[in-house]
Structure 1
Amino acid sequence: MTIEDRLVRLIETGGPIPLSTYMQIALHDPQDGYYAARPGIGRDFTTAPETSQVFGELIGLWLVHEWKAMGAPETFQLVEIGPGRGQLMADALRVALAVGGDLFADAAELVFVEPSPVLKEALGRMFSPLSPKFAATLAQVPAGPALIVANEYLDCLPARQFRRAEGGWRECVVGLSEGGRLAFGLAADEPRPPQAAALSGEVVEVQTGLDLLVADLVSRAAPVRALFIDYGPDDRAPGDTLRAYREGRQVGPLEAPGVSDLTVDVDFGRLARLAQAAGLDVAGPSPQGMFLLGLGAQARLNQLVAANPDDAEAVFTAARKLIDPADMGARFKAVCLSSPGLARPAGF
């Protein structure tokens, strides 16, 4: 039975489901969800680490700098949430181990927050010399000082969607058409939106998973610093941004549940407000291009071009995508959430 069959049966039994429930099942079902059964990096979508090695290398420098800023603890959890095929961490560790030396290498305990059996097996082989640990959620990461990195993770957190209708707000749901196919609709009753949601415009999306993420960070007693990079606005709540990708092509969000990647824009303003209200220090959100330039992207790009003259144009073009405001440089944002009292993080 496919995920679509299961969703149809669920709706037939209990009625239409919220969009967030649809996303949770389609993306994160432990057996047949997209990330469990069909991780599509490089096929359905491409991330910054897959675009240019400069991205991961600069993150490696950032990790060493922040480890020292935390007092260079003898042991700390080096955590990546949603590592995909491991390209970011591979590039980051290549630089971090060279710059931080044996002290950093001995202190870092590598942990991947990754529930996918397919990806866990591949990552275990790729990073076997470092004996990585795996956790299904951030809450399962061992206690202790932690540096956390997550690139394009927040956008896959399920979102509730609200639409203005008949003078009020209705929650977007997934039901069935007359032909028995999945179809969008609106809940009959007026919902009680999350308190932090600033409802404006005609459509607004709210990722309640951001609340849980902040709670997980706050619950860690030891010093923690978490860097999140993703796409979305920082000055307003996202509108109707739900979309799906399959084989590098945008498709309908209900067209192939479990087989296509689903994504929404991240409300960075709301994330920052939640973190501040919970007592965390917040740096950013800042445009990705400015963040990377602040870490030395131009200098690293010059080094790579000089070392690879035959591939200089390709190296330059790939790195430019990360920084150029017309490409990923402005649409993607970086935000750092930290335990109180730490120095301001590099790049902000």
Structure 2
Amino acid sequence: MSSAGVGCGERLDAFMGRANALYYATRDPFADFVTAPEVSQIFGELLGAWCAVVMDTLGPDVRLVEVGPGRGTLMADMLRVLARVAPSRLGGLSVHLVETSPRLRTAQEQALAQFDVRVQWHDALGDVPEEPILLVGNEFLDALPIRQFVRTETGWLERYVRDGQWALQACPDVPLDVTERNAAPGEVIETCPAGQAFMRELGRRVSEAPGAALLIDYGTSRSCVGESLQALCQGQPVSALVEPGTADLTAHVDFASMAHAAVEAGAVCDGPVEQGAFLIALGAIQRADALCKVAPAQAGSVRAGLDRLIGPERMGRLFKVLGVRSPHGPPLPGFPQEHGEKT
């Protein structure tokens, strides 16, 4: 049977992929949620400085890639910092944005028009030319389609969507990482084949040529049991099974699974670590102090933005950061060295 699930509805990953493709093509996602670059300029500035340091380890010809670039705010903040701390890099820099939404591509083009850089758009990472890359992805993996498996007393069933309701179907291809999690009857396991495929492609690329990547998202450091699929419409939680295209569907990222896929393809992973710890290691507090001194009238909003980024009860603990690098490259900035993992 195909993934469409003839006779029993549409398999969840097919439904989620179709729903999000329509949503991002027709709606302004930032009416429903706010990402870290929109919370505070500190986020993008620190990542820009991170890119400047890592570029020095990758050689002269590096393509700067962003997956899921949103409005272009993060890339604009990073380029602004690169122009200040590494102007020689900016002159010949090639920027590549992996984005399928025409609406968002237009917004990104406007955001980056101020910089004298070449910008190219691609539908997938595989379309970016095979040369050394430095890749950044913030809240990219969480929107990739997931599958959900339900443990029963006699085996596993998979969730499909039919007429706005869940439907269960026998599954002949239950992944090994599902059966290994020791779920009890009635419990749900999620997997993200699209995310794993992306990480394998990324791992292959940085194992065959100098490269590095930084992936930031909300999720868990270890593979676990439970369901996390959620939907937002006009900033409010709604059923994930609403009419496709009317809500943004996301799920918590299983960073252990993502790292495993990259390592299997030949890469080394640093982390994951909590976003708060990572940004503090890069100098978030010092940067906030400097901004407050320059603009005392804005100190309150600067501190509030910083707290949202690094606070344990805000984004600081829920969001994780995973580094991916070439096997012979140095540990990436912001990660404790003992976090490095390789085959």
Query: TM-score, normalising length from structure 2?
Result: 0.91
User: For 1:200 and 1:51, how far apart are their aligned partners in 2?
Assistant: 39
Structure 2 residue 109 is the aligned partner of structure 1 residue 116:
no
Structure 2 residue 202 is the aligned partner of structure 1 residue 217:
yes
Distance 1:238 1:17, change over 3 A: same
User: For 2:200 and 2:260, how far apart are their aligned partners in 1?
Assistant: 13
Which residue of structure 1 aligns with residue 324 of structure 2? 337
Which residue of structure 1 aligns with residue 43 of structure 2? 55
Which residue of structure 2 aligns with residue 149 of structure 1? 136
AA of the residue aligned to 1:272: A
User: For 1:108 and 1:283, how far apart are their aligned partners in 2?
Assistant: 26
Q: 2:79 aligns with which of 84, 93, 100?
A: 93
Structure 2 residue 304 is the aligned partner of structure 1 residue 317:
yes
Which residue of structure 2 aligns with residue 250 of structure 1? 237
AA of the residue aligned to 2:83: L
Which residue of structure 1 aligns with residue 220 of structure 2? 233
Q: 1:105 aligns with which of 90, 99, 104?
A: 90
Q: 2:18 aligns with which of 22, 25, 44?
A: 25
Secondary structure at the residue paired with 1:80?
strand
Which residue of structure 2 aligns with residue 37 of structure 1? 26
Secondary structure at the residue paired with 2:220?
coil
Q: 2:253 aligns with which of 266, 269, 283?
A: 266
The answer to whether the 8 Å contact 2:12/2:161 transfers is yes
Residue deviations 1:171-228 (CA, integer Å, cap 9, x gap): 111113xxxxx211211x2432223334333111000012211221244232121110
The answer to whether the 8 Å contact 1:289/1:322 transfers is yes
AA of the residue aligned to 2:67: I
Q: Give 1:280 deviation, angstroms.
A: 0.7
Secondary structure at the residue paired with 1:232?
strand
Residue deviations 1:46-67 (CA, integer Å, cap 9, x gap): 1011101100000000000000
AA of the residue aligned to 1:35: Y
User: For 1:241 and 1:139, how far apart are their aligned partners in 2?
Assistant: 28
Q: 1:46 aligns with which of 34, 37, 43?
A: 34
Residue deviations 1:14-59 (CA, integer Å, cap 9, x gap): 531211110011112xxxx111111311x10110111011000000
User: For 2:237 and 2:99, how far apart are their aligned partners in 1?
Assistant: 25
User: For 1:160 and 1:199, how far apart are their aligned partners in 2?
Assistant: 15
Which residue of structure 2 aligns with residue 172 of structure 1? 159
Structure 2 residue 280 is the aligned partner of structure 1 residue 293:
yes
Secondary structure at the residue paired with 2:333?
coil
Q: Give 1:144 deviation, angstroms.
A: 1.2
The answer to whether the 8 Å contact 1:289/1:329 transfers is yes
Q: Give 1:238 deviation, angstroms.
A: 5.2
User: For 1:85 and 1:53, how far apart are their aligned partners in 2?
Assistant: 14
Which residue of structure 2 aligns with residue 191 of structure 1? 172
Secondary structure at the residue paired with 1:299?
helix
Residue deviations 1:69-125 (CA, integer Å, cap 9, x gap): 223x1x211000000001111111111110011x21124201100011111122123
Distance 1:96 1:116, change over 3 A: same
Which residue of structure 1 aligns with residue 188 of structure 2? 203
User: For 1:166 and 1:222, how far apart are their aligned partners in 2?
Assistant: 48
The answer to whether the 8 Å contact 2:197/2:261 transfers is no
Q: Give 1:233 deviation, angstroms.
A: 0.7
Which stretches in structure 2 are left out of the alignment for 5+ residues?
336-343
Which residue of structure 2 aligns with residue 138 of structure 1? 125
AA of the residue aligned to 2:172: P
AA of the residue aligned to 1:27: N
User: For 2:225 and 2:25, how far apart are their aligned partners in 1?
Assistant: 27
RMSD: 1.5
User: For 2:130 and 2:305, how far apart are their aligned partners in 1?
Assistant: 38
The answer to whether the 8 Å contact 2:231/2:249 transfers is yes
The answer to whether the 8 Å contact 2:133/2:211 transfers is yes
Between 148-157 and 91-100, the greater mean CA deviation after superposition: 91-100
AA of the residue aligned to 1:68: D
Equivalent residue pairs, number: 324
Secondary structure at the residue paired with 1:132?
strand
Stretches of 4+ aligned residues off by more than 6 angstroms: none
User: For 1:338 and 1:39, how far apart are their aligned partners in 2?
Assistant: 33
Which stretches in structure 1 are left out of the alignment for 5+ residues?
1-9, 177-181
User: For 1:238 and 1:53, how far apart are their aligned partners in 2?
Assistant: 35
